[in-house]
A and B are shown apart, each in its own frame.
Chain A
Amino acid sequence: MNVKSLRSALSSYVFLLPALVLLVVFTLYPVLYGSYLGFTEYTAANFATNQPPKWVGLDNFRTLANDDLFKTGVLNSLKYLLVVPALQLASLAVAVLVNRQLPFIAFFRAAYYVPVITSISLAAVMWDWIYNKDGTLNWLLKGLHLMNPSSNESWLLDPNTAFWAIMFVTFWKGFGYYMVLYMAGLQTIPEELEEAARLDGATPWHVFWRITVPLMQPTILLCSLLSTLSAIRVLEEVLVFTNGTGGPLNSTYTALLYVYKKSFGGLDFNYGLASAAGLVVAAIALILSVLNFRYFRDGSARA
């Protein structure tokens, strides 16, 4: 190695240093240390007195297996996955709809993206008025005669509806994001293919299912993966809409809310148990990613 290439290598490391230090300290280390904490007994008291975590093996996981609140959380997080197919189908359909030259179409595209750039705390404020017992939703349902004029549903306070009401906001906030990703995917489909099918007399419905969807497999895989992972990791929505309580009768309690509550959000400050719960969520996320890959790869093999 000559002096010149040594200098170039050295300068490369110097350029990379800030990014790498920050990545190691705030991304790699937390994952490794957090995984380790899952097998230890470690609390705020230990942390304050500088005592190291105590290895307890699978104890935390046994505690979790017997904790009904955690089970509720995991079940709700799994139930939250129901938003994924709805979200993906809707955003793909909207992407196809706006992916054409029409007057004002750019306006609609931008408007559909506005919920994405809305903060979750702002969404909580705005949707609270819609879900209120005197709110817009009840007014609309009564106007359409879908609801008894005398009933006063308070959507976020009813244990039967709070969960779905929050999930609907996730849908609202998300469809513009996936729409843009699908629009990028649609750009890669050669126009002649759809044109040829149309000339052969295919209905728009057929073109969508037989040509657009199969050719969009890679984008669909990416979007469904992103959407699955954020659904199983849902936390902010349930946190802001219920003031961190887990909702009426814990109906909106999710697995990551449990992690948060055991860390700082409650009175426990049980970092070991919180980390173990985090590991369980991570394992579920991993399994779901593998399933996603298998399902959509098989799908593309068929097509």
Chain B
Amino acid sequence: MTRIVAAPSRAAATPRAARRPLRRTLNTVLIYAVLIGIFIFAAFPLIWTFIISITDSNSVTTGHTVYDFPASLFPARITVANFFNVVRTYPAIEHAFFNSVIISGLSIVLTVIVSALAAYPLARNEFWGKAVIFGVIVATMVLPTETSFLVNMLSLAHLRQIPVIGPLLGIGSYLGVVLPTVSTAFGIFLMRQAFLSIPQSLLEAARIDGAREGQIFRGIMLPLSMPSMAALSIFTLVNTWNSYFWPSIALTGSQDKFPLAVEMLKLKGAFNDNIFNTAAGAMIMMIPILLLFLFAQRFFMRGLEGATK
């Protein structure tokens, strides 16, 4: 503990700073004041929600309100009862959690597979039509997509009519939400960058040994681009876990398949009189993605930077 606290003053002891120690210290104090100010701005809503979610609703003096500042920021009694309450009185949230896991899981697996498959020839092979195909993929990034949700909804409604596969792929199915979001220029680019950085000599050696394309792909390319696949997976997870608008449309008529992000707003309405339960529900949605982000930050940022290259 002391070591961490001592770090700033140790930095101030470098020869150059020693000449102007006061100004340097003032500067550091000022920087940290600004940093903490922005931290409060960025994190307050989440911290506040977290505090509400663990506040014992009976310990709040003014009855069922937490709008009693600043006392409510320091709850007299802490409890996890709200979490059990919300699951017990609003069983849909358990179901929605499960739906979010399925939808995100499907999205991740399909996105990584589809992107990696498409990126491989684009990075490694010469073939007729390559420039055109690459051009089309680039073009999808600048298309005017304002009415895409409408047409995609109509397409999914058409798909639904087809016997046997309709209920699987059409409107109101898990795959119906997932499929339109799976193939993206971002994913293909990210995987292509990864494949381009693998030495060509490795591939040539494998080809000389008689390996077929599929074997090279599975045996060399995929294992060597694990970090990029991780980045794409986490990026996809965060996007699909949080996505609200498209699932709420594509799952029309199948409310039992709504993910947490859609169920969240209904939860707010359902617990208008009890914001402790709403806050607990919000935390159930936020905590998994927050933990994952904290553990996999490095990969996540890499995915984001890959998007802008």
3 residue pairs, one from A and one from B, having the closest CB atoms = A282-B144, A134-B67, A19-B118
B residues at A contact (CB < 8 Å) = 4, 7-8, 11, 28, 31, 34-35, 38-39, 41-46, 48-49, 52, 65, 67, 69-70, 113-115, 117-118, 120-122, 125, 127-128, 130, 133, 136-137, 140, 143-155, 157, 179-180, 182-183, 188, 213-214, 217, 238, 241-245, 249, 252, 260-262, 264-265, 267-268, 275, 278, 282, 285-286, 289-290, 293-294, 297, 301, 304-305, 308
A-B contact list, 30 entries, CB within 8 Å = A15-B120, A15-B213, A18-B117, A20-B133, A27-B183, A35-B147, A47-B157, A94-B38, A97-B31, A102-B8, A110-B294, A112-B38, A117-B242, A118-B242, A119-B243, A119-B260, A121-B264, A122-B264, A124-B264, A124-B265, A126-B49, A240-B244, A263-B153, A274-B147, A275-B150, A281-B144, A282-B144, A282-B146, A285-B144, A285-B146
Closest residue to A103 on the B side, CB-wise?
Answer: B7
The residues of B that contact A112 with a CB separation of less than 8 Å are: 38-39, 42
Q: Is the interface of B mostly helix, strand, loop or mixed?
A: helix
A256: nearest chain-B partner, CB-CB: B146
Query: B114 contacts A114, CB within 8 Å?
Result: no
Contact B183 A23 (CB under 8 A): yes
Closest to A229 in B: B142
Residue among A20, A27, A35, A136 with most chain B CB within 10 A: A27
Contact with B along A255-278 (1 / 0, CB 8 A): 010011001100000010011001
Other than the given A30-B145, A110-B293, A180-B304, 9 more pairs (CB < 8 A) read: A15-B217, A98-B35, A111-B39, A113-B293, A122-B282, A125-B265, A125-B282, A126-B48, A278-B146
Q: Count contacts between A and B, CB distance < 8 Å.
A: 254
Number of interface residues, chain A, beta carbon within 8 A: 86
A34 CB contacts on chain B under 8 angstroms: 146-148, 150-151
Identify whether the interface residues of A are mostly helix, strand, loop, or mixed: helix
Check A103–B118 contact: CB distance below 8 A.
no
Q: Which residue of A lies closest to B130 (CB)?
A: A12
Quick check: B127 and A12 within 8 Å, CB to CB? Answer: yes
